[in-house]
A = this chain, B = another copy of it.
Amino acid sequence: MSVYLGIDVGGTTIKIGLISQEFKLLKKHAIDTRADTENANQIVSRMMQKVQELLFENGYSFSDVIAMGLGAPGTIINKSGLYAFAGNLPFDNFPIRDKIKEYYSGPIFLGNDANMAALAESRLGAGQGSKDTFMITIGTGIGGGVVINDRMYTGFNEAGAEIGHMVIRLDGEYCTCGRNGCWEAYVAAPALIEQTKQAISEHPDSILAKIVQPDEKITGKTVFLALDQDCPVAKEVFAQYAYYLQVGMANVINAFMPEIIILGGGISNQGDRLINSFKQGTLDDSFLFGDVEKPEFRIATLGNDAGMLGAALFAADSLEDGLSF
């Protein structure tokens, strides 16, 4: 029996999946990324050893692999095999496909991790039934993934769909990309944490302030824990955060007009409470005049498996398109 390899490279772990031709995740394994202590060659070498072990343990060898798909943060280019920009990982301008080929000589297809996740959610998860979806992953950063006519869309150089790096406030908050005022700087988890800290320092007697134990870290969940206790200060923080979400979501709609917008990442665990906080405002803000169909909002359903599944789907799509990298 033949399988796909779906690999999801992240800042702390690398997830490796064996995936069936029907896109079921048969087996998975995670290893540490070790971005701080190893170089690109070492990481890929260790990753491929683990791939080989996982195959072997499950009765497969590399010859059973139809193709490998690999998703990773930043800009990783399928056409050239180059990991052009990796942010916190030691992969900048690293010819990652060539390196992997030293271990596995079959077809290898590369893409951004958020795009891979979007493809999986679109076809196997929350976006099922639609061919035009947009996934927004809210985590340390904002990942954007666009699926148009059932295919991943990344622009001519494969570096697009970076919707977190859309300025929504001219000359606003500093963003890690070097600009000021990017959406990411208002709605990624670190921004929500900063907004929570700010509110706590302004309202030291609030429930929000009091639920944080001494020496306990403020996280992206803190504001929601206080909301559970009807904290008025937490409500204010959440309302402001929802407004930031609304403005960017309406920008996404006006630009891409997806049928379904899928929310992923840790904050999406808040489910309907999250969607209801910005949904009506977003639709009101969007360019939806006259009798036109409205986009829908949904929470992602595949969790941490989305990256691996999407990588396998992308590999299958690439083969179908006649690519043979």
Contact residues of A with B, CB < 8 Å?
74-75, 77, 80, 82-85, 92-93, 130-132, 144, 148, 153-163, 165-170, 172, 177-179, 244, 247, 250-251, 253-259, 284-285, 287-295
Give the residue of B74, B162, B170, B259 whose beta carbon is less than 8 angstroms from that of A254: B162
Most buried by B among A84, A289, A290, A291: A290
Give the docked Cα–Cα distance between A85 and B292 (Å).
9
The oligomer's copy count stands at 2
Give the residue of B82, B153, B177 whose beta carbon is less than 8 angstroms from that of A148: B153
Q: Name the B residues within 8 Å of A295 (CB-CB).
A: 156-157
Give the docked Cα–Cα distance between A291 and B92 (Å).
9
Given contacts A170-B172, A287-B177, whether A132 and B161 have CB atoms under 8 Å apart is: no
Given contacts A155-B132, A170-B172, A287-B177, whether A162 and B255 have CB atoms under 8 Å apart is: yes
Give the residue of B131, B159, B289 whose beta carbon is less than 8 angstroms from that of A75: B289
Q: Which residue of B lies closest to A153 (CB)?
A: B148
Task: Tell me if A132 and B156 are in contact (CB < 8 A).
Answer: yes
Task: Tell me if A293 and B156 are in contact (CB < 8 A).
Answer: yes
Q: What's the nearest-Cβ distance from chain B to residue A260, in Å?
A: 9
Task: Tell me if A254 and B291 are in contact (CB < 8 A).
Answer: no
